[in-house]
């Protein structure tokens, strides 16, 4: 039987070389009878004997600095408190239910949910007060994960004073647990809508109501409202969790939709770096140079380095030399100095 009590302090003293002779005797006696401690000692040596892995320290550090600079911008955007989102969702639904009951929308909705009819072909919803973005199609969760750009959670718009159907929560299905929390609220709304059953619909339909009831899922459909900070943050999150495909798609979407936003400059740098790491120096170079053409300086040092690396991958020796020299001239104390000098030496040695 292996004993459960282990002289941990004696192990520490032995490791520090401060163990006394009598303590050593005690430790040896314990080791003779305790397989767990013998194992621990042996495996500690095994771990210490592992060779150093061959990872590119410069690249990892550079990526971390890029990520830091990107995230410096993120806190400017007010984050949506999940509790607020839930409260807002409930408030919006409550308002909708009250107004719907008053105007006859709710009975028709209840009827639609209790006795669903075959769904008609999707029709546009002109009565909505907020423009619908592209991704309003309701898709199953798994499918949404596969096809959608990075998820974004937005605060619901305030309820308007007129009885118009409102989106309950502007969410998009997301693989992250925190966002599931909000998405689940909107998913729960239809069941809540089913609760007040047995309401006779005696009021004549109102045109705006007909629009809402024509589509069987107006309450479920969560319109996605994207903005540049949201898109930037979502793409950053995708990048940090290693989903580079989603990150690249998110950054590209941001550049296409909000090319003049403050986030666009950093996106050029981050996307360039990401594409470079993904082995696409041509596309990377395009974004890196777009960043350098702008006025943002926060990532300039990193971008100059990445640009030189892109030239290296493309075999554009003279451009690479010029890029490294520019970096050295502008950032003589850069963390990339050693690499720049090594590359310059290598290139000068070439015929």
Partner 1 sequence: MTDAVRPLNDAAERRRSALAELADRAATGDTEATGQLLKALAPSMIRSAQQLLGASHADLDDVVQQSLIGLVQALPSFRGECTVHHFASRIVARTAVATRRRGHVRLDRQDDSVDVDSLERLPDSNTDRVDAERRRDLVRNLMATLPAEQAETLALRIVLGFSLEEVATSTGVPLNTVRSRVRLAKTALKKRIEADPRLLEALEVES
Write the CA distances from 33 to 16, 40, 45, 243, 344, integer angstroms: 23, 13, 20, 49, 61
Could you tell me which stretch among 6-14, 137-145, 193-201, 343-351 binds partner 1 (CB under 8 A)? Answer: 6-14
- Nearest distance from C-beta of residue 16 to partner 1, angstroms: 7
Question: Among residues 25 and 36, whose Cβ is nearest to partner 1?
Answer: 36
Sign of CA dihedral 69, 71, 72, 74: positive
Task: Count residues binding partner 1 (CB under 8 A).
Answer: 48
Q: Quickly tell me which residue has 């777009």 as its tokens.
A: 290
69 lies in the site for partner 1, by CB under 8 A: yes
How big is the CA angle at 145 (ends 79 and 59), to the nearest 5 degrees? 70
227 lies in the site for partner 1, by CB under 8 A: no
Question: Among residues 61 and 147, whose Cβ is nearest to partner 1?
Answer: 61
Q: Quickly tell me which residue has 């969560």 as its tokens.
A: 222
**274: Cβ–Cβ under 8 A, 6 or more apart, which residues?**
239, 244, 247, 248, 251, 284
- Nearest distance from C-beta of residue 49 to partner 1, angstroms: 7
One DSSP character per residue, 119-163 reads PPPP---TT-SS---S------HHHHHHHS-S----PPPPPPSS-
114 lies in the site for partner 1, by CB under 8 A: no
Residues 248-307 binding partner 1 (CB under 8 A) are: 298, 301
Question: Among residues 168 and 299, whose Cβ is nearest to partner 1?
Answer: 299
Question: Among residues 17 and 126, whose Cβ is nearest to partner 1?
Answer: 17
Question: Among residues 35 and 87, whose Cβ is nearest to partner 1?
Answer: 35
**11: Cβ–Cβ under 8 A, 6 or more apart, which residues?**
27, 37, 40, 41
Residues 13-32 binding partner 1 (CB under 8 A) are: 15-16, 32
Asked if 96 contacts 196 with a C-beta cutoff of 8 angstroms, the reply is: no
- CA 44 to chain CA centroid, Å, is 37
Could you tell me which stretch among 60-68, 129-137, 140-148, 188-196 binds partner 1 (CB under 8 A)? Answer: 60-68
335 lies in the site for partner 1, by CB under 8 A: yes
- Nearest distance from C-beta of residue 39 to partner 1, angstroms: 6
- Nearest distance from C-beta of residue 255 to partner 1, angstroms: 23
Residues 190-209 binding partner 1 (CB under 8 A) are: none
For 275-317, give the secondary structure using H, E and C. Answer: HHHCCCHHHHHHHHHHHHCCCCCCCHHHHHHHHHHHHHHHCCH
Question: Among residues 148 and 305, whose Cβ is nearest to partner 1?
Answer: 305
Question: Among residues 113 and 331, whose Cβ is nearest to partner 1?
Answer: 331
Beta strands in 134-275 (DSSP E): none
Could you tell me which stretch among 36-44, 118-126, 187-195, 283-291 binds partner 1 (CB under 8 A)? Answer: 36-44
**Residue of 240, 282, 342, 346 interacting with partner 1 (CB under 8 A):** 240
Q: How far apart are CA 149 and CA 172, in angstroms?
A: 10
Sign of CA dihedral 311, 312, 315, 320: positive
Q: Which residues bind partner 1 (CB under 8 A)?
A: 1-2, 4-6, 8-9, 12, 15-16, 32-33, 35-40, 42-44, 46-53, 55, 57, 60-61, 63-65, 67-69, 71-72, 240, 242, 298, 301, 333-335
């Amino acid at each position: 039987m292996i004993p459960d009590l282990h002289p941990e302090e004696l192990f520490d003293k032995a490791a520090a070389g401060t163990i006394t002779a009598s303590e050593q005797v005690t430790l040896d006696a314990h080791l003779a009878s305790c397989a767990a401690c013998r194992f621990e000692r042996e495996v500690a040596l095994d771990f210490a004997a592992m060779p150093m892995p061959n990872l590119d320290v410069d690249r990892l550090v550079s990526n971390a600095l890029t990520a830091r600079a990107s995230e410096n911008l993120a806190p400017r955007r007010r984050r949506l408190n999940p509790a607020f989102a839930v409260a807002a969702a409930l408030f919006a639904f409550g308002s909708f239910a009250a107004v719907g009951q008053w105007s006859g929308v709710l009975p028709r909705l209840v009827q639609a949910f209790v006795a669903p009819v075959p769904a008609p072909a999707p029709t546009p919803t002109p009565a909505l007060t907020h423009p619908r973005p592209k991704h309003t199609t309701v898709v199953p969760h798994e499918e949404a994960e596969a096809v959608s750009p990075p998820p974004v959670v937005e605060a619901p718009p305030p309820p308007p004073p007129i009885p118009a159907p409102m989106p309950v929560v502007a969410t998009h299905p997301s693989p992250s647990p925190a966002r599931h929390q909000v998405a689940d609220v909107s998913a729960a709304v239809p069941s809540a809508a089913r609760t007040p059953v047995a309401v006779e619909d005696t009021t004549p339909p109102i045109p705006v109501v007909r629009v809402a009831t024509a589509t069987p899922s107006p309450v479920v459909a969560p319109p996605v409202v994207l903005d540049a900070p949201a898109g930037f943050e979502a793409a950053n999150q995708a990048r940090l969790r290693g989903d580079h495909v989603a990150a690249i798609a998110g950054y590209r979407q941001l550049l296409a939709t909000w090319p003049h936003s403050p986030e666009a400059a950093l996106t050029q740098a981050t996307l360039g770096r990401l594409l470079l790491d993904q082995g696409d120096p041509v596309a990377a170079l395009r974004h890196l140079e777009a960043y350098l053409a702008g006025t943002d300086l926060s990532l300039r040092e990193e971008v100059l380095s990445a640009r030189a690396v892109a030239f290296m991958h493309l075999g554009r020796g003279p451009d690479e030399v010029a890029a490294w020299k520019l970096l050295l001239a502008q950032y003589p104390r850069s963390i990339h100095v050693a690499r720049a000098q090594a590359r310059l030496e290598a290139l000068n040695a070439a015929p």
